[in-house]
Amino acid sequence: MIEAAQGGDQRAIARLISHVADGDDSGRRIVGELYRLGGNAKITGVTGAPGTGKSTLVSGLITSMRSEPGRVGVIAVDPSSPFSGGAILGDRIRMGEHVDDPNVFIRSVANRGHLGGIASSTPAVVAALDGLGFAEIVIETVGVGQSEVEIASACDTTIVVVNPGWGDGIQTAKAGFLEIADIFVVNKADRPEVSATIRDLEAMLDIGPTTPWRAPVVATIATERSGLDDLWRSINQHRAHLEAEGRMEQVRRDRARHALVGALRDSIEHSVDAIGHETIEDLVQRRNDPWTLADRLLIEQ
């Protein structure tokens, strides 16, 4: 299955990614193996409030990325009920123009039991696509607070999408967007107030801390591909900056740490299920307590 997927067989990729996203034993073995083959994919995050046009923008980004050699993988993290566990398929439909491209793989992942986050399976799916040789990976997620922090630690370059008149500076700063944006996109730039919004963002960046990289503000009309070339140029400039500043090493270390935290979180339920009846009974009878037991279960390095 891995060999077929590495060869670009779409059905093999889809089956393999389903295994990995499920997080079952075979999925964990597969992603572990693929992780060791990876490390070369460029990972781009796209986040922002619902309705800002993220999916159309991602679709435009795919076109830019496909102008160069290499396969493109997209992970769309959808809000979903923890009860149904099902992902909304809207994004896949919106990205329809790439459906027939055998070098584009799009997967919606549900953020089961992890509201507002990037879905616990996202680091594993990223690692799998990376190990399969995908050159570009895009993660699209709805911005609702904590997801911004998570997407930033999972990506090389984080794009925050806003709309004209989308919000005053306080709103943007409050949502934590300033801290994590490597690039701001003002999408739907044919609407009024676009220059005021760009000015607001620039003013916020002016009063923010001085950093080696200042997030550019790019105006786009994703439905018309307007501004998409500027955005692609900004992404490549940010990548060059990371490499030139030696920041890439730190990004890779942070990502490895982040993936490890995720893998441990995923293991916990499984590991608690494997705990013997007597151990749980010790807790019920108050002969032991969960905090002492947790410290014993996690080997200190």
Rule CB under 8 A: choose which of 41, 124, 125, 152 binds a copy of itself: 124
- With contact defined as beta carbons under 8 Å apart, do 112 and 120 qualify? yes
Q: Tokens standing for 295?
A: 């410290």
User: Closest approach of Cβ 281 to a copy of itself, in Å?
Assistant: 8
Binding mask 73-112 for a copy of itself (x = CB under 8 A): --------xxx-----------------------------
Size of the residue set binding a copy of itself (CB under 8 A): 69
133 binds a copy of itself (CB under 8 A): no
Binding mask 174-193 for a copy of itself (x = CB under 8 A): x-x--x--------------
Integer Cα distance of 26 and 55 in angstroms: 31
Rule CB under 8 A: choose which of 6, 144, 223, 226 binds a copy of itself: 144
Rule CB under 8 A: choose which of 127, 183, 221, 228 binds a copy of itself: 127
User: Closest approach of Cβ 176 to a copy of itself, in Å?
Assistant: 5
In a 10 Å sphere around its CB, with 0-12 CB exposed, 13-18 middle and 19+ buried, how is residue 192 labelled?
A: exposed
* CA 194 to chain CA centroid, nearest Å: 27
117 binds a copy of itself (CB under 8 A): yes
- Of residues 210 and 301, the one with the C-beta less far from a copy of itself: 301
Integer Cα distance of 296 and 123 in angstroms: 27
33 binds a copy of itself (CB under 8 A): yes
Q: Tokens standing for 169?
A: 């500076």
Stretch that binds a copy of itself, among 59-67, 87-95, 159-167, 264-272 (CB under 8 A): 264-272
Angle (CA) 77 146 23, round 5°: 45
Site for a copy of itself in 280-299 (CB under 8 A): 280-281, 283-284, 286-299
24 binds a copy of itself (CB under 8 A): no
User: Closest approach of Cβ 278 to a copy of itself, in Å?
Assistant: 10
Could you say which DSSP state residue 277 is in? H
Residue 53 half-sphere exposure toward CB, CA atoms < 13 A: 22
Task: Please state the φ and ψ torsions of residue 75, each to the nearest 5 degrees.
Answer: -115, 115
What's 87-143 look like in SS3? CCCHHHHHCHHHCCCCCEEEEEEECCCCCCCCCCCHHHHHHHHHHCCCCEEEEEEEC
Point out which residues bind a copy of itself (CB under 8 A): 28-29, 31-33, 35-39, 81-83, 113, 115-117, 123-124, 127, 144-146, 149, 174, 176, 179, 249, 252-253, 256-257, 259-269, 271-272, 274-276, 279-281, 283-284, 286-301
